[in-house]
Amino acid sequence: MYHALVEGAAPDDIVLQSDLAFLKILPARMELFRVETELMACVDKEKRLRNFLSQAKESFEYILLDTPPSFGLLTFNALTAADFLLIPMQCEAYALDAVAPLMQVMNIIKNTSNPSLQMAGILLTMFDVGESVGRRICETARERFGPLLFNTVIPRNTALKNAPADGAPIFLKDLGAFGARCYLNLAGEILHLK
């Protein structure tokens, strides 16, 4: 990502193949932390990612952007480039309070640099059915955000937790795992957004 945003690298030069034939990745490495300071004085710094993706859009059916949990230049770039915003919300204390500011930022971006940006929805994650706090947060989120919430809820799950450590997507380890099925359900909901 650093090479795309700062050095203007072409997609073909930096996109990598994953273990899944239909999935390519563009990783973020340690140098990405320098992007914000190196682009600060650049014109159209918040449009760098959109310009990069305009070269790649025809090659992909979907492009997923994973942003840091902050309101920095990388997040602004992602929102300026995106068609939809999906907000993952952990079923933990303080997570509810973080959603509203992100929705405000989305509206600012929509009004200033990306009028086509739409809310895909809010995804409840790290849900532990055995924790009463998690259940209460889930209920409060349903009351507060109603139709913005995806029906799918991603559980706190050992197989999901171990997948990054195993270096492979959950789908390659155990397609029938409960966590994998939850993500497949989410994919089905996302496919109906268009």
Residues 47 and 103 in one domain: no
Residues 89 and 74 in one domain: no
State the residue range of the domain holding 89. Answer: 84-194
Which residues have a Cβ under 8 Å from the Cβ of 160 and sit 6 or more positions away? 154, 170, 177, 179, 180
Per residue of the chain (194 residues), what is the pLDDT tens digit? 999 999 999 999 999 998 888 889 998 888 988 998 999 888 889 999 999 999 998 889 999 999 988 888 999 999 999 999 999 999 988 898 889 899 999 999 999 999 999 999 999 999 988 888 888 999 999 999 999 999 999 998 888 888 888 877 787 778 788 888 999 999 999 998 86
Q: Which one of 82, 106, 126 terminates a domain?
A: 82
Residues 148 and 103 in one domain: yes
Residues 73 and 141 in one domain: no
Helices (H) and strands (E) in the chain, counts: 10, 5
Q: What's the CATH number where 112 sits?
A: 3.40.50.300
Residues 96 and 69 in one domain: no
Residues 56 and 98 in one domain: no
- Please count the CA atoms within 13 angstroms of the CA of 19 that sit on its side-chain side: 8
Residues 66 and 106 in one domain: no
pTM above 0.75, yes or no: yes
Residues 139 and 115 in one domain: yes
> Which of 111, 110, 51 lies closest to 85 in space, CA to CA?
110
